[in-house]
Structure 1
Amino acid sequence: MTSSRRTLALTLVGALTLSALAACSSSDDEAAEGDTAATDEAVTIQVAMDEGLEQGAIDAFNERIEQFESEHENITVEAQEYNWVGTTFTADLAGGTLPDVFTVPFTDGRGLIERQQIADVSEQIAELLYAGDFSETVASAGQDADGKQWLVPIAAYGQGLHYNRALFEEAGLDPDAPPTTWDGIQEAARTISEKTGQAGYAEMTTSNTGGWILTTLVYSLGGRAESVDGETTTATINTPEYTEALEMLRSMRWEDDSMGSNFNHDWGTSHADFAAGKIGMFISGGGDYGNLVTQNAMPEADYGVTVLPLEGSDPAVLGGGTLAAVNAKATPAEQAAAVEWIDFYYMEKLTDEDAAVADAQVTADQGQPVGAPVLPVFDKATYDESQEWIADYINVPLEQFAPYSDNIYDQPLAAEPPVATQDLYAALDPVVQAVLTDEDADIDQLLSDAETNIQGIIDAS
Structure 2
Amino acid sequence: MTTDRFRTTTALALATGLVIGLTAACSGGSDQQAGGPVTITIDGQPPQTQPFDRKIFDADVAAFEKAHPDIKVQAHEGFMDPKTFSAKLAGGQLEDVFYVYFTDPANLIARHQAADITDYVKDVPHVGDIQPALLDVFKDAQGHVYGLPTANYSMGLLYNRALFTKAGLDPDKPPTTWDEVRADAKKITALGNNTVGYADYSANGQGGWHFTTWMYAEGGDIAKKDGDTWKADFNNDKGKAALQTLHDMRWTDNTMGSKQLLQIADVQGMMGAGQLGMYLAAPDNIPTLVNQFKGNYADYGLGAMPGGKGTLIGGEGYMINPKATAAQIKAGLTWIQWKYLNPERVTSDVLNTYKQQGQPVGLPVPPVPDLWTGSVRDQLEQAKEKYATVPVSNYKPYVDGGQSLKGSLEPPNAQQLYTILDTLMSTVLTQQDANIDQLLSDASQKADAVLATVK
Normalised TM-score (structure 1): 0.72
Q: 1:387 aligned to 2:378?
A: no
Alpha-carbon distance in structure 2 between the residues aligned to 1:57 and 1:162: 28
Q: 1:429 aligned to 2:422?
A: yes
Question: What corresponds to 1:405 in structure 2?
Answer: 399
Question: What corresponds to 2:305 in structure 1?
Answer: 308
- Which 10-residue stretch deviates more, 324-333 or 424-433? 324-333
Secondary structure of the equivalent of 2:198? coil
Alpha-carbon distance in structure 2 between the residues aligned to 1:104 and 1:379: 22
Q: 1:451 aligned to 2:447?
A: no
Match of 1:346 among 340, 343, 364: 340
Match of 2:316 among 317, 323, 331: 323
Match of 2:104 among 108, 113, 129: 108
Alpha-carbon distance in structure 2 between the residues aligned to 1:336 and 1:275: 46
Alpha carbons of 1:140 and 1:177: their partners in 2 closer, same or farther (altered >3 Å)?
A: closer
Question: What corresponds to 1:216 in structure 2?
Answer: 213
Question: What corresponds to 1:369 in structure 2?
Answer: 360
Alpha-carbon distance in structure 1 between the residues aligned to 2:213 and 2:380: 30
Normalised TM-score (structure 2): 0.73
Alpha-carbon distance in structure 2 between the residues aligned to 1:401 and 1:281: 14
Rg larger in 1 or in 2?
2
Q: 1:248 aligned to 2:248?
A: no
Superposition deviation, residue 448 in structure 1: 0.3
Question: What corresponds to 1:359 in structure 2?
Answer: 350
Question: What corresponds to 2:17 in structure 1?
Answer: none
Q: 1:180 aligned to 2:176?
A: yes
* Alignment-mate amino acid for residue 166 of structure 1: A
Alpha carbons of 1:177 and 1:445: their partners in 2 closer, same or farther (altered >3 Å)?
A: same
Instruction: Provide Cα deviations, 1:184-231, integer angstroms capped at 9, x if missing partner.
Output: 322433443452424432213345442332132233334333455665
Q: 1:141 aligned to 2:137?
A: yes
Superposition deviation, residue 366 in structure 1: 0.9
Alpha-carbon distance in structure 1 between the residues aligned to 2:54 and 2:195: 31
Alpha carbons of 1:5 and 1:60: their partners in 2 closer, same or farther (altered >3 Å)?
A: same
Q: What are the residue-to-residue correspondences of 1:146-225 with 2, within 5 Å?
A: 147-171=143-167, 173-194=169-190, 195-206=192-203, 208-225=205-222
- Which 10-residue stretch deviates more, 151-160 or 333-342? 333-342
Identity among equivalent positions (%) equals: 30
Alpha carbons of 1:293 and 1:306: their partners in 2 closer, same or farther (altered >3 Å)?
A: same
* Alignment-mate amino acid for residue 160 of structure 1: G
Question: What corresponds to 1:14 in structure 2?
Answer: none
Alpha-carbon distance in structure 1 between the residues aligned to 2:364 and 2:110: 34
Secondary structure of the equivalent of 1:322? strand
Match of 1:75 among 66, 73, 76: 73
C-alpha contact (below 8 Å) 1:252/1:258 kept by paired residues: yes
* Alignment-mate amino acid for residue 358 of structure 2: G
Alpha-carbon distance in structure 1 between the residues aligned to 2:288 and 2:98: 17
Alpha-carbon distance in structure 2 between the residues aligned to 1:98 and 1:164: 45
Alpha carbons of 1:389 and 1:199: their partners in 2 closer, same or farther (altered >3 Å)?
A: closer
Superposition deviation, residue 362 in structure 1: 0.8
Instruction: Provide Cα deviations, 1:422-457, integer angstroms capped at 9, x if missing partner.
Output: 544443123212323344433222210111222233
Instruction: Provide Cα deviations, 1:249-293, integer angstroms capped at 9, x if missing partner.
Output: 223334415246252414x66456544545321112356545655
- Which 10-residue stretch deviates more, 158-167 or 417-426? 417-426
C-alpha contact (below 8 Å) 2:115/2:323 kept by paired residues: no
Alpha-carbon distance in structure 2 between the residues aligned to 1:72 and 1:278: 52
Question: What corresponds to 2:276 in structure 1?
Answer: 279
Question: What corresponds to 2:12 in structure 1?
Answer: none
Superposition deviation, residue 175 in structure 1: 2.3
Alpha carbons of 1:222 and 1:143: their partners in 2 closer, same or farther (altered >3 Å)?
A: closer
Superposition deviation, residue 306 in structure 1: 1.2
Instruction: Provide Cα deviations, 1:220-250, integer angstroms capped at 9, x if missing partner.
Output: 3343334556656542221122122112222
Superposition deviation, residue 301 in structure 1: 0.9
Question: What corresponds to 1:261 in structure 2?
Answer: 259
Alpha carbons of 1:295 and 1:331: their partners in 2 closer, same or farther (altered >3 Å)?
A: farther
Instruction: Provide Cα deviations, 1:116-160, integer angstroms capped at 9, x if missing partner.
Output: 6x6547376565334455444322212345544333212344431
Secondary structure of the equivalent of 2:180? helix
Corresponding residue pairs, total: 419
Instruction: Provide Cα deviations, 1:379-431, integer angstroms capped at 9, x if missing partner.
Output: 1322102333555323331221233234333x331424665555444431232
C-alpha contact (below 8 Å) 2:219/2:310 kept by paired residues: no
Question: What corresponds to 1:12 in structure 2?
Answer: none
Instruction: Provide Cα deviations, 1:55-108, integer angstroms capped at 9, x if missing partner.
Output: 99887666545544544673354665x7x9xxxx75586898999876544233
Alpha-carbon distance in structure 1 between the residues aligned to 2:32 and 2:124: 11
Question: What corresponds to 1:18 in structure 2?
Answer: none
Alpha-carbon distance in structure 2 between the residues aligned to 1:109 and 1:397: 35
Structure 1 gap segments, 5+ residues each? 7-21, 29-33
Secondary structure of the equivalent of 1:200? strand
Alpha-carbon distance in structure 2 between the residues aligned to 1:202 and 1:62: 41
Secondary structure of the equivalent of 2:197? coil
